[in-house]
Chains A and B, each alone.
Chain A
């Protein structure tokens, strides 16, 4: 765990609102770990999943508010991390289902674990995505229904997309979900990222962000 600054190498626009930012620095991290990034728009730092793109450290950013807008404008960012537990897949064949903003994360994951990756996007991306891609809600649902022969799934995206994917996949294999809870410290101090699970309260920044879906949902 460290404080560091990150200088932007490239800004790649993936769609109307989604970007990849690559950095000149290198840091060691495990899949699904994240960093807490400072913005001028909030008094707390914001979590972003770590990944790789074009052989560099990278994050994907979906601009949904002032902090994410700030982040894609800056040449230099201040952050601490890596935070959270690295995801280690179980034995067997696995598939990762993610949104466009997670491209750097899942790219790294696939290289390490040789799992399949499927991307669901609301809009047609502006660049060629190196994974099977579906656009729109209906196509996403169909894709989920067609997934068979996997032992485990990892779902990374918005709360809504994750719940839909969990419901569609829960009887087909073990489903892991990267949960999104509001965070302030990212290191287990503030107790703000508590998630109620069947095994008691978990704190996503230290016990997660990935939990088994069945721990949280039926």
Chain B
């Protein structure tokens, strides 16, 4: 996969393409869509967000319309403008191993439209963690590889297993890349309210850097670095430890123009 610039809009942060209203598409290497699951999901009850200077905690809970409705929208041309303007990565997940396969089956006929499929194995806001059962995970990785010809990326978090070991497995099963890392489970106390969710933003950077470093040392996979990339220096650091592309997530919420500034440095 060749991304120019090597900049990806992070799944979920960029929704279903909304940031094209605020970012010039020339500066986006690929736009990852919000994770789509087999069944529609309402997501978690509000409050869903809390932010400080150093982090954002979100408890969105994979709110999405489900794969059938997504395909309907795809066929009705809802994303035509997005496809015309940028390369698009399809992100998907399931509430169990079976559902991952079902989404892949439904989406297989449309895979040519996307530059890659990203399989989200690491959402901290759902109760299923595929990384904690390596045997099942391996079976699924093999099955998914059989079903899809597209450039296949596993989005890995750091909870459940050592990330470099999972990344090795991903490579052995014939996948092409990994996105490293996702948000990590965290909790914020706001008066009487406890907000549980996944943490993102600058606090993630050292953790994500280490993860990219370890994965690069163990695999030849295409690595999209994700976690706390807020500016040009952060991006540079991730390239130094072996990332092939950087993913911009929470930084969009502080200033969408950051994408252009980073892109100009790495075009």
Q: A-side interface residues toward B, CB under 8 Å?
A: 1-3, 38, 40-45, 78, 80, 181-185, 187-196, 201
Question: In the complex, how many residue pairs between chain A and chain B have their CB atoms under 8 Å apart?
Answer: 99
Is the interface on chain B under 10, 10 to 19, 20 to 34, or 35 or more residues?
35 or more
B residues 42-63 touching A (CB-CB < 8 Å): 42-43, 45-56, 58, 60, 63
Q: Which chain A residues lie closer than 8 Å to B80 at the CB level?
A: none
Q: Which chain A residues lie closer than 8 Å to B60 at the CB level?
A: 190-192
Q: Give Cα A88–Cα B30 distance, bound, in whole angstroms.
A: 38
**Residue B250, interface by CB 8 Å:** yes
- Please pick, from A3, A78, A188, A201, the residue contacting B18 in the complex, using a CB distance under 8 A: A188
B residues 185-228 touching A (CB-CB < 8 Å): 201-202
Task: Classify the secondary structure of A's interface with B.
Answer: loop
Flag if A190 contacts B253 (CB, 8 Å): yes
- Please pick, from A44, A190, A192, the residue contacting B254 in the complex, using a CB distance under 8 A: A44
Extra A-B contacts (16), CB below 8 Å, given A40-B53, A189-B15, A194-B43? A3-B256, A43-B56, A43-B250, A44-B250, A182-B46, A184-B49, A185-B15, A187-B22, A189-B19, A190-B12, A191-B12, A191-B48, A193-B48, A194-B48, A195-B46, A201-B43
Q: Give Cα A190–Cα B59 distance, bound, in whole angstroms.
A: 10
Flag if B48 contacts A185 (CB, 8 Å): no
Q: Give Cα A201–Cα B60 distance, bound, in whole angstroms.
A: 12
- Please pick, from A44, A188, A196, the residue contacting B45 in the complex, using a CB distance under 8 A: A196
Q: B-side interface residues toward A, CB under 8 Å?
A: 12-16, 18-19, 21-22, 34, 42-43, 45-56, 58, 60, 63, 201-202, 250, 252-257
With A190-B12, A190-B15, A192-B60 in contact, do A43 and B253 touch (Cβ < 8 Å)?
yes
The chain A residue sitting closest to B230, CB to CB, is A43
- Please pick, from A1, A38, A182, A190, the residue contacting B21 in the complex, using a CB distance under 8 A: A1
Flag if B257 contacts A192 (CB, 8 Å): no
Q: Give Cα A80–Cα B54 distance, bound, in whole angstroms.
A: 21
